[in-house]
């Protein structure tokens, strides 16, 4: 009978070989860094494109207002459509009243539709 306080020593010692564990860790860290970088690049692209859509709406409204003021010949909404198309956006609404014009453009970004509107005209006009 063995005493209670003694460890069992007749079992063979197990050797653990951890060679290559660092390589797996490095591959995992590179994968995580690449995924984070890709996510960040996607978000940055969406934000930049959103700003471009805002600029397209502003430029379309200003182009239509130029026609209303007589500085450019043509139809205000046709000019707004051309400006929006030049910005790779789609004109969905164009309304004018007096010297004020309201336009709305939309673009698909990462599977979502982003809509922006802009108004050009005198500051005291009501819309």
In a domain, 92, yes or no: yes
In a domain, 17, yes or no: no
Residue 19: per-residue pLDDT:
76
Q: CB atoms < 10 A from the CB of 67, how many?
A: 19
Q: How many domains does the chain have?
A: 1
Residue 98: per-residue pLDDT:
86
| Among candidate residues 48, 65, 46, the one with its CA nearest the CA of residue 118 | 65
**Those residues with Cβ within 8 angstroms of residue 127's Cβ, 6 or more apart along the chain or in another chain:** 100, 102, 119
Tell me the pLDDT band of 92, cut-offs 50, 70 and 90.
very high
In a domain, 83, yes or no: yes
Average per-residue pLDDT in the chain? 87
In a domain, 127, yes or no: no
* Containing structural domain, residue 109: 27-120
Tell me the pLDDT band of 1, cut-offs 50, 70 and 90.
low
pLDDT at residue 31 tops 60: yes
Q: Round to the nearest angstrom and report the end-to-end CA distance of the chain.
A: 98
In a domain, 21, yes or no: no
In a domain, 100, yes or no: yes
pLDDT at residue 127 tops 70: no
Separation between Cα atoms, residue 107 and residue 2, nearest integer Å: 81
Residue 37: per-residue pLDDT:
96
Across the range 27-39, mean pLDDT stands at 95
Across the range 73-88, mean pLDDT stands at 95
Residue 119 token pair: 């108004």
In a domain, 82, yes or no: yes
In a domain, 86, yes or no: yes
H or E, element range at 59: helix 21-68
pLDDT tens digits, one per residue of 95-120 = 998 889 999 999 998 888 999 999 99
Separation between Cα atoms, residue 58 and residue 102, nearest integer Å: 10
pLDDT at residue 126 tops 70: no
């Amino acid at each position: 009978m063995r005493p209670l306080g003694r460890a069992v020593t007749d079992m063979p010692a197990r050797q653990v070989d951890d060679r290559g564990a660092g390589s797996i860790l490095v591959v995992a860290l590179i994968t995580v860094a690449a995924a984070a970088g890709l996510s960040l690049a996607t978000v940055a692209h969406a934000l930049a494109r959103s700003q471009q859509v805002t600029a397209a709406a502003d430029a379309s409204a200003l182009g239509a207002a130029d026609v209303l003021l007589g500085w450019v010949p043509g139809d205000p909404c046709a000019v707004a459509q051309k400006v929006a198309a030049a910005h790779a956006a789609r004109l969905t609404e164009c309304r004018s009243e007096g010297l004020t014009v309201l336009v709305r453009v939309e673009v698909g970004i990462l599977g979502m539709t982003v809509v922006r509107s802009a108004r050009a005209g005198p500051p005291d006009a009501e819309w």
